[in-house]
Structure 1
Amino acid sequence: MKHLIDLDDFSIQELDQIVHKAVEIEAHPEAYYGKLSGKILGTLFYEPSTRTQMSFQTAMLKLGGQIIGFDNPQTSSVSKGENLKDTVKVISNYADVIAIRHPSEGAAKAASLVAECPIINAGDGGHLHPTQTLTDLVTLMHEKGHLDHLTIGLCGDLKFGRTVHSLIKAMIHYPGNKFILISTKELTIPDYMKKIILNSNCEYEEISTLEEALPKLDVLYMTRIQRERFESKEEYLKQKDVYRLDTQKMRLAPEDLCILHPLPRVDEIEIAVDDDPRAVYFKQANHGVYARMSLILHILEQNTQTSIKGEIYPEKICSNSRCITQSETYLKRYFYRDKDGVMCCSYCDAHE
């Protein structure tokens, strides 16, 4: 069985296949109704979600399948102290595929090590969100017609923004793409992500204002400042209103700009911008259903195996306080070395 923990688990050919099939499904949905009759999707959502959870459910229902799971761990045996391993081990015997969202980074990888069915990462803390990225790729294919030679601005929470990290890791595989990173110094993108960009021979530029970045962009990816990722309310309040896209700033943007946002929006995009044809974030949410339909079909057709990279270091502890290994202490401690020889956690990719 094959899992989707990180888009690196798929070749660029597989990504293209999934994206093009999603476009095909959206054009001809009737041809795919009932394709997964008798199959069951398990949704294990340890964190709140609207679009991701409901789009997975809608995708499975459109394919003729059924759904089990929870959207609040307090209504499950997790509230009694059940660990991640036991929950996944049991539910993976009930379901044909599981989508999991969890606040701890590396949780999806940990789940995949014990699951009896394929695992799809629906977001693990501030680490990755690969199915949102598939949604983004499908949206860009619809709006731009190609995924290469784009200047992509990423604005807001680039430190904890798992959607940003996953999008960069996908777009570096397409030639000619350039990234403009728009954030405060406190929320700048992690060093390991900068290394990934540099090692791919892509260009990136760091800018502190939207006004400076907008005229240069083909795509603007806005993100909210995530209250749940900050250790204190004071730190959050210092950051929350720094970046706001409004109709006045939009005058600086190219006519063919494409504005994406993974949602939910708080106040980083003015409501009036919704009426601008360059704002496609609600279309983006709709494309997410078809992206996930294509993904589920692809995963259930595979018989290849995804393995964990690295080796076990029993005495070593991940330095990332948000890593799943900090709470699920029974997990074997896997670490790998990156291209520069730096030791990294195999679950959350944190550099040691």
Structure 2
Amino acid sequence: MRHLIEPTDLSVDETERIIDLALDIIAHREKYSEACKGRKLATLFYEPSTRTRLSFTSAMMELGGNVIGFSDAASSSVSKGETVADTVRVIACFADIIAMRHFKEGAPLVASQYAGIPVINAGDGSHAHPTQTLTDLLTIKRELGRLDDLTIGFCGDLKFGRTVHSLIKALSRRTGIKVILIAPEELRLPDYIRHEVCDKYGVPTVEVRTMEEVMPELDILYMTRVQKERFLDEEEFERVKDSFVLTPEKLETAKKEMVVLHPLPRVNEITRAVDNDPRAAYFRQVENGKFVRMALIYTLLQWAGERKAAPTPHLTEAYDVNRLRCQNRRCISATEDVDQLFHEIDGEPGSYRCAYCEAKLRE
């Protein structure tokens, strides 16, 4: 069974094929209007979502399928203490494919081990958001015509931004990628993403304090929210907050063909005056999300029917079991009875990562 738990569960070639399929859907929507007739998507959203949940719902409906599920954990048996494993076993009796958003990191991976039908991670804590990554890649392809030879600046909350982590993982496998990190000290990109992703694939990575100093060289500016509650020192937040707000004035030195992306929702990190700039692609990005999710749902259901695709890498890697315990309180293993899965970090004997949340463990 194939699932999508994190972006690298799809090979570069498979990712390309899903993007190409999304482009074909855009060009020939009527051809796919009954592609999933008689099939059901279950949307299991344990935390609030507007764009992602409605995008999945719209995607399945445009494929001719039906949608069941819940948009709030409080309205499900989760409120009675039901585990993720038991929930998906039940849901699999009613649906053909699952899209899950969960506040606990690793919950979709647990779901994929028990569901018996394809599971799509629609965002788990601050860990990963692979369908947003597919959305971003489709948007870049449509806006710039390529996925290689790009300089991309990530601005804002790079520490907890699951969309940032996922997109960096996906782009790191492309050629000619340069990553520029624009963030306050408190919200810097986690070291493991830099060292175990960027360094592994030889992606040049530069850290700066303001977007102005790098704006002229960017092909893409990827904005995220800088949240006040992430700062221990309120005075520090007040001092740096304006450095991470995009205005028309800051775009004056940018390339004419540069693209501004944002996973949304935004608060004040992009002023409304930027919305009318043709480089502002974040609302086009939302619509692209529907098309790429149509392509993903169609592909996973097709693979499930053919049983020819290679299994999801997450479920075939050799993990150690139950010898170490993850200390990350945001991890699904902290609250549910699951096997403690972990693997040794390449080049760091005695250091391990949790399979669910990627937190670092030591013997």
Same fold (TM over 0.5): yes
User: Is the partner of 1:210 in helix, strand or coil?
Assistant: coil
* Aligned equivalent of 2:325, options 317, 331, 351: 317
Cα 1:233/1:290, change in 2 over 3 Å: farther
Q: Tell me the distance in 2 between the aligned counterparts of 1:255 and 1:337.
A: 45
User: Corresponding residue for 1:326?
Assistant: 334
Q: Is the 8 A contact 2:152 2:178 kept in 1?
A: yes
Letter in 2 for 1:127: H
Are residues 1:350 and 2:351 paired? no
Q: Is the 8 A contact 1:89 1:115 kept in 2?
A: yes
Q: Tell me the distance in 2 between the aligned counterparts of 1:276 and 1:338.
A: 44
User: Corresponding residue for 2:153?
Assistant: 153
Q: Tell me the distance in 2 between the aligned counterparts of 1:164 and 1:187.
A: 12
Per-residue deviation, 1:242 = 4.7
Q: Tell me the distance in 2 between the aligned counterparts of 1:236 and 1:77.
A: 43
Per-residue deviation, 1:86 = 1.3
User: Corresponding residue for 1:336?
Assistant: 343
Letter in 2 for 1:47: E
Cα 1:40/1:165, change in 2 over 3 Å: same
After TM superposition, the structure 1 = structure 2 runs for residues 1-352 of structure 1, keeping only pairs within 5 Å, are: 1-195=1-195, 196-226=197-227, 230=230, 242-302=243-303, 303=307, 304=309, 305-306=311-312, 307-328=315-336, 330-341=337-348, 342-352=351-361
Aligned structure 1 segments of 4 or more residues deviating by more than 3 angstroms:
229-242
Gaps of 5+ in 1: none
Per-residue deviation, 1:8 = 1.1
Per-residue deviation, 1:166 = 0.6
User: Is the partner of 2:358 in helix, strand or coil?
Assistant: coil
Q: Is the 8 A contact 2:327 2:334 kept in 1?
A: no
User: Is the partner of 1:99 in helix, strand or coil?
Assistant: strand
Cα 1:39/1:235, change in 2 over 3 Å: farther
Per-residue deviation, 1:317 = 1.1
User: Is the partner of 2:212 in helix, strand or coil?
Assistant: helix
Letter in 2 for 1:344: R
Letter in 2 for 1:11: S
Q: Tell me the distance in 2 between the aligned counterparts of 1:338 and 1:13.
A: 26
- Superimposed CA distance per residue, residues 305-326 of structure 1 (whole angstroms, 9 cap, x where no aligned partner): 2215342332411132211111
User: Is the partner of 2:274 in helix, strand or coil?
Assistant: helix
Q: Tell me the distance in 1 between the aligned counterparts of 2:244 and 2:317.
A: 38
Gaps of 5+ in 2: none
| Aligned residue pairs, count | 350
Q: Tell me the distance in 1 between the aligned counterparts of 2:98 and 2:112.
A: 10
User: Is the partner of 2:114 in helix, strand or coil?
Assistant: coil
Give me the TM-score of the superposition, normalised by structure 1: 0.95
Cα 1:211/1:144, change in 2 over 3 Å: same
User: Is the partner of 1:249 in helix, strand or coil?
Assistant: coil
User: Is the partner of 1:67 in helix, strand or coil?
Assistant: strand
User: Is the partner of 2:149 in helix, strand or coil?
Assistant: coil
Give me the TM-score of the superposition, normalised by structure 2: 0.92
Cα 1:236/1:35, change in 2 over 3 Å: farther
Q: Is the 8 A contact 1:225 1:236 kept in 2?
A: no
Give the percent of matched residue pairs that are identical in Structure 1 and Structure 2.
48
Per-residue deviation, 1:114 = 1.0
Letter in 2 for 1:337: E
Q: Tell me the distance in 1 between the aligned counterparts of 2:327 and 2:203.
A: 28
Q: Is the 8 A contact 1:214 1:252 kept in 2?
A: yes
Q: Tell me the distance in 2 between the aligned counterparts of 1:313 and 1:91.
A: 27
Letter in 2 for 1:347: Y
Q: Tell me the distance in 1 between the aligned counterparts of 2:164 and 2:223.
A: 9
Per-residue deviation, 1:338 = 2.5
Q: Is the 8 A contact 1:230 1:236 kept in 2?
A: no
Q: Tell me the distance in 2 between the aligned counterparts of 1:287 and 1:235.
A: 39
